[in-house]
Amino acid sequence: MIHKKIEMAENEIKLTVAEINRIFNSFIGKKVLVIGDVMLDSYWWGNVERISPEAPVPIVHTHSKEYRLGGAANVALNLKMLGAEPIICSVLGKDHDGEVFLRLLKDENIRTDGLIFSSIRPTTVKTRIISGKNQLLRIDIEDDSRINIGDESFLVSKIIELLENADVVIFEDYDKGVISEDLIKKVVTKANEKNIPVAVDPKKRNFMAYKDVTLFKPNLRELSEGLKMEFKSPVEFAEISDAANILKDNLHIQNILITLSELGVFVSDTMGEGCIIPAHIRDVYDVSGAGDTVISVAALALLSGVSIKTVAALANLAGGLVCEKVGVVPIDKGELIKEAIENYSTSN
């Protein structure tokens, strides 16, 4: 059963403080292509004092509004906070929201030379209405159809050019139309030719298209939808292990990392049977963006040369930390290093 595997995996991960610092120092300056669906996260903050007389809904008296980088752009922001150099490869609308998005990128000094602009698609915007620490409503503006062939061809050519100086590639797939099977095949083939690792945070539409990648990171729901498998509740280790083996057999994936919410993460490489890295006890306020943080830390940790179990352990810590914050926020590197030392240092 799952809990026996949790105990075994936890005891296997021990690092010196020097090794932990070496891992995180190795992130500095790494060039990461982030390919996927970007979005503008809009937050309306306010207070609820009464119910509307017009309908049984709360009236929110807003006191502030904030824009943040979302989707694949939140991955880029996490990477920057970790010391890497992200380059976003995506499509923006030629609209006001796109201009706001670009301004946020420039404020963060994140490269924009992998972006293309469309006059027929809007910039994806997710607006969240929040009272205190509770999200009351989300409003989405988007076009999730596949981008047109001309834009896709232009985007692929930009990606191939940028690959020349990349250390790792991340596919951040939100099923909003930027990523297609054709794009995946062309980019992964070229990256493998150059021995550049490819990490994937998938969604349902292209789930089975990510062949021959280095790291594949679905969550349990994405795994269920992608493989059309139903899991028991609570989920058992054997079920997850079987699903991971199906992925390996069909997609020839080197490493699989499956996030399991409060249970932690399942991890398996080409040689191992897999194990579970347990979640740490948290005051969870908001899971938004946690997957972005996990894939960011995992992709950079892969480059440091540590075991896949250590990669999973550090990514698991990072995902839990951002769940303690409200809204989509990037990881705090100093906080993550401190937790890594507290949880995995041999001196403790």
d(CA 142, CA 153): 21
Look at residue 327 in the predicted model and tell me its pLDDT: 60
Residue 27 inside a domain? The answer is yes
Catalytic residue among 41, 151, 269, 292: 292
Look at residue 261 in the predicted model and tell me its pLDDT: 81
Residue 54 inside a domain? The answer is no
DSSP 15: B
Question: What is the CATH number for 152?
Answer: 3.40.1190.20
52-100 confidence digits (pLDDT tens): 999 999 999 999 999 999 999 999 999 999 999 999 999 999 999 999 9
Look at residue 251 in the predicted model and tell me its pLDDT: 95
d(CA 259, CA 234): 14
Q: Is 292 known to be catalytic? A: yes
The model's pTM is: 0.91
At 135, is the secondary structure helix, strand, or coil? strand
Residue 129 inside a domain? The answer is yes
Q: Would you list the DSSP string of 281-305? A: P------TTHHHHHHHHHHHHHHTT
11-41 confidence digits (pLDDT tens): 567 889 999 999 999 999 999 999 999 999 9
Q: Residue 118's CB: how many other CB atoms inside 10 A?
A: 18
Long-range Cβ contact pairs of 311-316 (< 8 A, separation 24 or more): 311/215, 311/255, 311/257, 311/267, 312/257, 312/265, 312/267, 312/277, 313/13, 313/277, 313/343, 313/344, 314/23, 314/340, 315/257, 315/265, 316/259, 316/264, 316/265, 316/277, 316/279, 316/280
Range of the domain at 245: 2-46+59-344
Residue 98 inside a domain? The answer is yes
CB 184 within 8 A of CB 205: no
Residue 51 inside a domain? The answer is no
Look at residue 7 in the predicted model and tell me its pLDDT: 40
Residue 39 inside a domain? The answer is yes
Look at residue 328 in the predicted model and tell me its pLDDT: 60
Please state the domain count of the chain.
1
Residue 53 inside a domain? The answer is no
Residue 185 inside a domain? The answer is yes
Using 70 as the pLDDT threshold, list the residues of the chain that sit under it: 1-12, 272-273, 281-289, 324-328, 347-348
